[in-house]
């Protein structure tokens, strides 16, 4: 039985001796070659299969691997339909995902230069039998200490020798993104703008494409942010990320996922009777990514699918958790966008809106610099590139409806919201306590202790007045902290009997079928003006009861239902009771 290639990004390791299950993406080699452009960028979220695809290109085009072609590609599309360019290039491959950034600011340039120098030295040794490189050339190249100067010197020497190569860059923006996280905006700006060593390096890359020393280039990354900063726009090559023909070049389609599942069922490694349940888990947690408006095709995150299978085959059962921690977006990646001087900014409100509605209108922007992400559409576009939003609907032109793709990504959004609240309004809430109380909520119908704790901590927060402006703030807070347990799907504004409930805690059958209680929460907010009116609390209570009674007959409810009314003001909880 073929093993699961979870965490393996080397094409030879996957294909050698046919040990691993491989989803054939080699037909895209042919499609890439059909394009007019030779210098290509392809952007997708983290852990989506980019590195394995780059490794596949490396093994296909490397002139040193002609003898391996049949072994590696015999059972693939491109093996049966090879192009004239197969095994015809020396390959210079740069991978920036492993370059250390936990260093002092002064050590960053040295770290980056060492990584580039090592790959160039490897190239010179690897292809010394194909073209004689004078020792003096090698010395002249490797004596440079700046990555940009090093690459420029390499380009010059290869040009003199009439050597044309294929440049592969995996995770082109990883180094700069990590500098941004670990060293802040100022250090990031210093290396990506005028005089910065990263800017000089990409100027050398552009020089190589213009002189045709680089015959072809394929680069992957997460977003256009770094390219926009180092080049004032993506003018090094063509961005093919949004072309419909390449929508499923990385990631798994429905048929690819079902074929893999059926293979392991045929091998008696997965229970046939669990097929429907597993597909439901996949669709709910890993599906719904779309990267082109010209297709209805939905993609699965390939890493998360492989994570599930890897765990299932080891344990012989459906895993207890569906989130691969390696996919989780580090809160630090978004913190600098949401907090300014320790306070929540406008981007937090955008994130809040997305959480509440599950979607948001956006004019999708394909090029933006760091200092522009404070603009609404550019912030949303950045979330799209991170995989935290995806295309739900194309409206017209560059206008889209973006949505949260699945439950795993929704969990990451809530993580970010909680971390932002903790820092932004100095919140001190015991998440472990909440998780324990969710057992009482789900199995015994005892809900009040959990709700009291959440609300007590909210009103204790130092910057509460900056946060609680209206019902929206209370509701967001409740959504974020009701989401800490896997026992429920926490739904905002779900349609229930032709109405929209504020919050619905829906039983998560993927976690356990033992949950006996579900909850609808109706949130009402009273302003100071409201409180001056006659019987304002009683009036809002009657309104909430009528709404709850309507929602309570919804067919989506599967077990004992609790109808909760929460009425608040900016100063205190005015009413919290069950109807």
Which residues are registered as beta bridge partners of 509? none
Same domain membership, residue 284 and residue 230: no
- Is residue 259 situated within a structural domain? yes
- Is residue 192 situated within a structural domain? yes
Q: What is the pLDDT of residue 471?
A: 66
- Is residue 320 situated within a structural domain? no
Same domain membership, residue 459 and residue 435: yes
- Is residue 346 situated within a structural domain? no
Same domain membership, residue 560 and residue 451: yes
Q: What is the pLDDT of residue 124?
A: 93
Q: For residues 241 and 367, give the distance between their C-alpha atoms in angstroms, rounded to a whole number.
A: 12
- Is residue 323 situated within a structural domain? no
Task: Answer yes or no: are the C-beta atoms of 30 and 83 closer than 8 Å.
Answer: yes
Give the other-Cβ count within 10 Å of 457's Cβ: 18
> 560-568 and 573-578 as β-strands: parallel, antiparallel, unpaired?
antiparallel
Distant-in-sequence, close-in-space partners of 283: CB < 8 Å, separation ≥ 6: none
- Is residue 102 situated within a structural domain? yes
Same domain membership, residue 219 and residue 85: yes
> 165-170 and 214-221 as β-strands: parallel, antiparallel, unpaired?
parallel
- Is residue 423 situated within a structural domain? no
Same domain membership, residue 578 and residue 533: yes
Beta-sheet strands, E only, within 374-516: 390-396, 399-403, 488-492, 495-496, 499-500, 503-507
Six-digit token pair at 339? 């907090």
**Closest listed residue to residue 571, CA positions, set 449, 417, 478, 467:** 467
What residue numbers bound the domain in which 137 lies?
11-246
Nearest 5°: CA angle at 559, between 281 and 430? 70
pLDDT by residue for the chain (579 residues), tens digit each?
A: 999 999 999 999 999 888 999 999 999 999 999 998 899 999 999 889 999 999 999 999 999 999 999 999 999 999 999 999 999 999 999 999 888 888 887 789 999 999 999 999 999 999 988 888 888 888 888 888 889 999 999 999 999 899 999 999 999 999 999 898 888 888 999 999 888 999 999 999 988 888 888 999 999 999 999 989 987 655 778 999 999 999 999 999 999 999 999 999 999 999 999 999 999 999 999 999 999 988 989 999 999 999 999 999 999 999 988 888 877 765 566 777 887 777 778 788 888 889 888 899 999 998 899 889 889 999 999 999 999 999 999 999 999 999 999 999 998 888 888 888 888 777 778 888 999 999 999 999 999 999 999 999 888 886 666 666 666 778 888 999 999 999 999 999 999 998 999 999 999 999 999 999 999 999 999 988 999 999 999 999 999 999 999 999 998 999 999 999 999 998 889 999 999
Task: Answer yes or no: are the C-beta atoms of 66 and 20 closer than 8 Å.
Answer: no
Give the other-Cβ count within 10 Å of 151's Cβ: 27
Q: For residues 244 and 366, give the distance between their C-alpha atoms in angstroms, rounded to a whole number.
A: 16
Q: For residues 523 and 544, give the distance between their C-alpha atoms in angstroms, rounded to a whole number.
A: 8
- Is residue 410 situated within a structural domain? no
Same domain membership, residue 144 and residue 226: yes
Distant-in-sequence, close-in-space partners of 197: CB < 8 Å, separation ≥ 6: 109, 112, 113, 146, 147, 148, 191
Same domain membership, residue 154 and residue 261: no
Query: Measured between alpha carbons, how far is residue 41 from residues 56, 171, 214, 527 in Å?
Result: 16, 10, 14, 51
**Closest listed residue to residue 522, CA positions, set 498, 497, 549:** 549
Same domain membership, residue 232 and residue 276: no
Q: What is the pLDDT of residue 194?
A: 83
Six-digit token pair at 120? 């160039």
> 560-568 and 517-525 as β-strands: parallel, antiparallel, unpaired?
parallel
Among candidate residues 225, 246, 267, the one where a domain is terminated: 246
Distant-in-sequence, close-in-space partners of 573: CB < 8 Å, separation ≥ 6: 455, 459, 566, 567
Q: For residues 380 and 399, give the distance between their C-alpha atoms in angstroms, rounded to a whole number.
A: 12
Same domain membership, residue 177 and residue 109: yes
The SS3 call for residue 215 is strand
Same domain membership, residue 558 and residue 487: yes
pTM, two decimal places: 0.91
The total number of structural domains in the chain stands at: 3
Same domain membership, residue 305 and residue 236: no
Among candidate residues 264, 296, 315, the one where a domain is terminated: 315
- Kindly state the DSSP code that residue 2 receives in the 8-state scheme: P
Same domain membership, residue 309 and residue 230: no
- Kindly state the DSSP code that residue 342 receives in the 8-state scheme: T
Among candidate residues 195, 225, 246, the one where a domain is terminated: 246
Q: For residues 123 and 142, give the distance between their C-alpha atoms in angstroms, rounded to a whole number.
A: 12
């Amino acid at each position: 039985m073929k093993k699961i290639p979870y965490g393996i990004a080397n094409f030879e390791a996957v294909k050698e001796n046919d040990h691993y299950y491989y989803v054939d993406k080699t037909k895209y080699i042919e499609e890439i070659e059909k394009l007019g452009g030779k210098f290509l960028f392809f952007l997708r979220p983290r852990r989506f299969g980019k590195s394995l695809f780059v490794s596949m290109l490396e093994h296909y085009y490397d002139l040193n691997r002609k003898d391996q072609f049949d072994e590696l590609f015999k059972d693939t599309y491109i093996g049966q339909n090879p192009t004239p360019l197969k095994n015809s290039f020396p390959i210079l491959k740069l991978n920036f995902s492993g370059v250390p950034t936990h260093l002092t600011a002064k050590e960053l340039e040295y770290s980056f230069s060492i990584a580039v120098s090592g790959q160039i030295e490897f190239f010179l040794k690897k292809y010394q039998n194909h073209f004689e490189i004078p020792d003096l050339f090698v010395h002249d190249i490797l004596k440079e200490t700046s990555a940009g100067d090093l690459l420029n010197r390499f380009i010059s020497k290869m040009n003199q020798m009439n050597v044309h190569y294929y440049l592969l860059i995996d995770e082109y923006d990883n180094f700069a993104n990590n500098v941004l996280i670990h060293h802040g905006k100022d250090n990031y700006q210093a290396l990506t703008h005028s005089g910065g060593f990263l800017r000089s390096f990409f100027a050398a890359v552009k020089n190589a494409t213009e002189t045709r020393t680089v015959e072809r280039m394929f680069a992957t990354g997460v977003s256009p942010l770094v390219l926009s900063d180092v080049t004032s726009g993506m003018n090094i090559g063509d961005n093919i990320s949004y072309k419909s023909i390449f929508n499923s070049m990385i990631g798994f389609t429905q048929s690819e996922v079902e074929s893999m599942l059926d293979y392991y069922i045929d091998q008696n490694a997965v229970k046939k009777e669990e097929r429907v349940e597993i597909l439901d888990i996949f669709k709910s947690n890993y599906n719904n990514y779309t990267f082109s408006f010209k297709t209805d095709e939905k993609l699965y995150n390939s890493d998360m699918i492989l994570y599930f299978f890897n765990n299932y085959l080891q344990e012989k059962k459906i895993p207890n958790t569906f989130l691969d921690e390696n996919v989780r977006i580090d809160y630090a990646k978004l913190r600098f966008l949401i907090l300014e001087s320790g306070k929540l900014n406008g981007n937090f409100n955008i994130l809040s809106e997305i959480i509440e509605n599950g979607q948001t209108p956006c004019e999708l922007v394909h090029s933006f610099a760091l200092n522009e992400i404070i603009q609404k559409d550019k912030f949303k576009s950045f979330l799209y590139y991170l995989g935290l939003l995806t295309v739900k609907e194309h409206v017209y032109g560059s206008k889209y409806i973006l949505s949260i793709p699945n439950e795993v990504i929704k969990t990451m959004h809530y993580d970010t919201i909680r971390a932002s609240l903790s820092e932004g309004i100095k919140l001190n809430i015991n998440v472990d306590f909440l998780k324990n109380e969710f057992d009482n909520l789900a199995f015994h119908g005892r809900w009040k202790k959990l709700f009291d704790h959440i609300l007590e901590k909210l009103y204790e927060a130092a910057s509460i007045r900056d946060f609680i402006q209206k019902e929206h703030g209370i509701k967001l807070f409740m959504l974020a902290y009701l989401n800490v347990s896997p026992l429920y799907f926490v739904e905002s504004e779900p349609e229930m009997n032709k109405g929209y409930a504020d919050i619905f805690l829906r039983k998560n059958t993927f976690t356990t079928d033992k949950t006996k209680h579900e909850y609808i929460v109706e949130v009402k907010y009273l302003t100071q003006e409201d409180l001056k009116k006659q019987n304002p609390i009683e009036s809002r209570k009657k309104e909430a009861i009528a709404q709850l009674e309507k929602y309570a007959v919804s067919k989506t409810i599967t077990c004992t239902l609790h109808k909760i009314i929460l009425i608040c003001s900016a100063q205190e909880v005015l009413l919290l009771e069950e109807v």
